[in-house]
Structure 1
């Protein structure tokens, strides 16, 4: 037997040395763990892991051409008389977190404001110093080029979203040379893709026709159901008791 006076291997804690009890809510320890190695892109066909630098091929054609503005009269009128509104709607469709009013105001100040300044400069060209006119023209060309780059970035996002080609040329060059036509084409493209998505989601298969029984079939079914218990009783009545 062990000696009762032997020193104990356990240390008795005082109240101030006791561990602090933490308040743990139910389910707190069962939270999902984010594993970065599992958050990878995979191929939908073979389910293999794709590299980080992989980009899907941009080989889809635009549903309408760059000069197909007459195919959608509503967007054509909006792009002709209020291009800033059409530009804002396109940006909002590509980036939902950006309200359409912000790019609309930016477009109105830069593009429409620049056009108004160019018209005033041309109207009062005889009253303005030629050097000042040259400086204004250079500033307007630079502002137009920057607006083309800014608008082309959103066109590039639209192309990546729907895997579209660079047609008829680079996205920034399209907006620099054919800005109004590009706005209408982008609006038609998003509108066509949205209509295709709604059509595919609303398509349902026809339900199978309801099978109705004729009166003769009902009689046969009722007669068969009524004869089944009688046949079962007859089978039970045919049993014989055999003495052992």
Structure 2
């Protein structure tokens, strides 16, 4: 969602699985993987002008990766995106919604003298 459909599902899955493998390995390697996935959190914050805190993005992913992913998912949902659909379907859905809004007549319209 954050990359607007520029990364395929396969690539995202590979990145995620690579990061999951890092959980059981040394902290230095885990830091590198958390730093990569935290970059998406940083992009999300910048895209929607969100504050970073109370911890740095990579620290949040390092300490509790599952919590960080849940927060990012809920943030996208609260902004009207459905992350499970992917970028292309969300874009189509938003275009359709905008077209429908343009075609609706004004509510409570009256003629006055």
- Normalised to the residue count of structure 1, the TM-score between the two structures is 0.34
Deviation string 1:180-231 (CA, Å, 9 cap, x unpaired) is: 1110110111111126xx6x954963152479xxxxxxxxxxxxxxxxxxxx
Judging by fraction of residues, say which structure has more helix: 2
| Runs (5+) with no aligned partner, structure 1 | 1-92, 119-138, 212-244
Match of 1:142 in 2: 28
Corresponding position: 1:190 with 2:91: no
Per-residue deviation at 1:169? 1.3
Q: How does 1:151-162 map to 2 (within 5 A)?
A: 151-162=37-48
After superposition, the CA RMSD in angstroms is 2.7
- Structure 1 segments, 4+ long, off by >3 Å, are 200-205
Instruction: Give the whole-Å Cα distance in 2 for the aligned partners of 1:182 and 1:153.
Output: 12
Q: Please show how residues 150-229 of structure 1 align to structure 2 within 5 Å.
A: 150-194=36-80, 201=98, 202=101, 205-206=106-107, 208-209=109-110
Say whether the 8 Å CA contact 1:110–1:143 is kept in structure 2. no
C-alpha distance 176-164 of structure 1, shift in aligned 2 (>3 A): same
How far, CA to CA, are the matches of 2:49 and 2:15 in structure 1? 28
Residue of structure 2 equivalent to 1:104: 13
* Partners of 1:148 and 1:172 within 8 A in 2: yes
Following the alignment from structure 1 to structure 2, what is the Cα–Cα distance between the partners of residues 190 and 179?
17
TM-score, normalising length from structure 2? 0.68
Give the count of matched residue pairs: 93
For structure 2, the residue ranges without an aligned partner over 5 or more in a row are 82-93
Contact 2:22 2:33 (C-alpha < 8 Å) held by counterparts: no
